Amino acid sequence: MIKNKKLTYWLSTLILLSIISILILQGYWISHSYTKEHNEFKENVHKALSEFDLNLSIKNRQIILLDDHIEYEYEYYSPDSTYNFYGSYRIEKEQTKDVTFDNQLFAVRKEQFRQINQFFKKDSLAFPNLLEEVELTITQQCVKCRDYKVFNLDSMLTVSLKKFGVSLPFQFGVYNKNKKKWDYLSDKQIDTLTLSQTTYQKPFQASEKKDKSFHLLLQKEDRFILQKIQTVIALSIALLLLISASFFYLLRFALQQKKLSEMRTSFINNMTHEFKTPVANILLGVDNIENAHIINKPAAIQNFTKIIRKESIRINEMVNTILEHAQLDRGHWRLNLEHVDMHQLIKQLLDIWVLPVQERGGKITVDLAATKMTLFADEALLYQAISNILDNANKYSLDTPDITIQTYNTIHSLHIKITDKGIGFSALEKKHIFEKFYRIPTKNLHDVKGFGLGLNYAENIIHFFKGKINVESEKGKGSSFEIVLPIS
């Protein structure tokens, strides 16, 4: 027994340590995958920001070299059309150029655009060899306009982020380092402190003075990364659950085997004790009969032969009980199906059980109220099942037995209720009373005779005939077994 307990302890410890080790390894694997994915994500965001900054710079200065001419175009967009304008500058072979403007700004600032146009014409005539490369910088006369105001930065940034696989809601801002304030915020409600501390910030190269920095704040970043490694997480969890389930099944199986071993040991001990008493009585009777002082006394011999017969019958009944249970386990039923009057069967049981109960000063009360009591079943099996419950009620009434047998009908069923006022059992014991070899603990194990097979046998028979047993009990106040069987 001690060896089995140690084995169970070490097996449980080993399983627990194994699960913890696997859990740590899986955690490390997921953490490594998350870190790797997060670093790749940050790298992609920075690449997207670099491309976005480059695209913004190109928007400010576009040079297109053609075969015959050089053309410069610039284009600004803004929700405020007052500050939108379009300009183009072309050097043809004749080395003349025209500048055209098409927007509402030209309507209100004609003089300034006329001056720009004259400047371009003068500048082109001054450089007759300017054919291979032209780089012109047009400074906006509108001092209120900034690059990040006139361009649709949201659209440009979205395109750059999506190109590198980042599709998340975002907020951004442009910070002026010299003025120490935000020149532009994409959302007036944005938390500027969080924005200033974001991981994603870089110098704003599109700014001519290089005195600005671009700050990007991504939303739901962690969720986005977790979604990318959700397959890894799902596989890890599935593997962990599979291994844990296997280990716990193994542990449960080991505990069940341990419990079964203990119950078998208890059964063998009980069986040995149960057989030991009648065998000893038989041997005692034989010794007395063979005694020279008894052999010539017929009355004494007859008394001892009664003892021998009684104990032999007792041994035979115990052997039959064990054999019947063995047949039950193998599924070998010897059925004799017929219409059985359950009231008549109960009366036959009373003839057997009234005397032993009365010998202990007890009584059996009967209330056979059922009007439909005929079942199609095996009479001998039902007789044994109910007899086992009555035996249980008598054995566990440690003082004076007080047993009640009731019958009544519901729509399609016959109910047989057997109630006693014995020792009862707890809710925990109730879970095990129909288990093979289980016996309700008493102060002395051998005060109550039996192998722990009776209720298990009764339950199997009732279930075989499509019935059920309901049990109610309270420790110290008795028990109630209610058999419910379908009416034929």
pLDDT at 4: 60
Residue 385 has pLDDT above 60, yes or no: yes
What was the pLDDT predicted at 73?
47
Q: Please give the Cα distance from 395 to 439 (Å, whole number).
A: 11
> Residue for token digits 């109220």?
369
**CA 95 to CA 52: how far, in whole Å?**
35
What pLDDT digit, counting tens, does each position of 411-460 carry? 889 999 999 998 888 888 888 888 777 777 655 444 556 666 778 888 88
Domain boundaries, the chain: 2-57+230-264, 62-126, 333-486
The dihedral through the CA atoms of 347, 351, 355, 356 has a sign that is: negative
Q: Three-class SS of residue 203?
A: strand
pLDDT value of residue 150: 46
Q: Which residues contact 59 (CB under 8 A, 6 or more apart)?
A: 75, 147, 151, 206
Name the average pLDDT for the chain: 75
CATH class of the domain at 333-486: alpha beta
> Which secondary-structure segment (H or E) carries 282?
helix 230-290
Q: What whole-number distance in Å separates Cα of residue 225 and Cα of residue 230?
A: 9
- Tens digit of each residue's pLDDT (9 = 90 or more) over 163-185: 888 888 888 888 888 888 888 88
Q: Is 178 exposed, middle or buried (0-12, 13-18, 19+ CB in 10 A)?
A: exposed
Average pLDDT on 319-335 reads 69
pLDDT at 67: 38
- SS3 track for 10-77: HHHHHHHHHHHHHHHHHHHHHHHHHHHHHHHHHHHHHHHHHHHHHHHHHHHCEEEECCCCEEEEEECC
Read off the pLDDT of residues 3-22 as tens digits, 9 standing for 90 and up. Answer: 566 766 777 787 778 778 88
Quote the CA–CA distance of 39 and 42 in Å, as a whole number.
5
Q: Give the residue among 260, 255, 251, 259 at the shortest CA–CA distance from 329.
A: 260
Instruction: Write down the pLDDT at residue 431.
Output: 84
- Rounded mean pLDDT, 64-73: 42
Name the pTM for this structure: 0.46
Choose between 405 and 86: higher pLDDT: 405
Which is it for strands 363-368 and 402-409: parallel, antiparallel or unpaired?
parallel
pLDDT attached to residue 7: 67
- Express each pLDDT in 275-299 by its tens digit: 777 788 888 888 888 887 777 788 8
Q: What is the pLDDT of residues 88-132, one digit of tens each?
A: 545 444 444 444 444 444 444 455 555 555 655 555 544 444 433
Residue with tokens 């935000």: 182
User: Does an H or E element contain 468, and which?
Assistant: strand 468-474
pLDDT of residue 274: 67
pLDDT, average across residues 122-145: 42
Q: How many helices (DSSP H) and strands (DSSP E) are in the chain?
A: 13, 15
Question: Does residue 467 have a pLDDT over 90?
Answer: yes
- What is the enclosing helix (H) or strand (E) of 81? none
> How confident is residue 370, by pLDDT bands cut at 50, 70 and 90?
very high
Q: Do 190 and 79 touch, CB atoms closer than 8 A?
A: no
Name which of 77-91, 233-247, 314-328 the model is least confident about. Answer: 77-91
Task: Give the whole-angstrom CA distance, residue 246 versus residue 26.
Answer: 17
Q: Which residue has the tokens 């924005």?
A: 195
Q: Which residue has the tokens 């603990």?
A: 441
Cα 219 from Cα 168, distance rounded (Å): 6
CA 375 to chain centre: 45
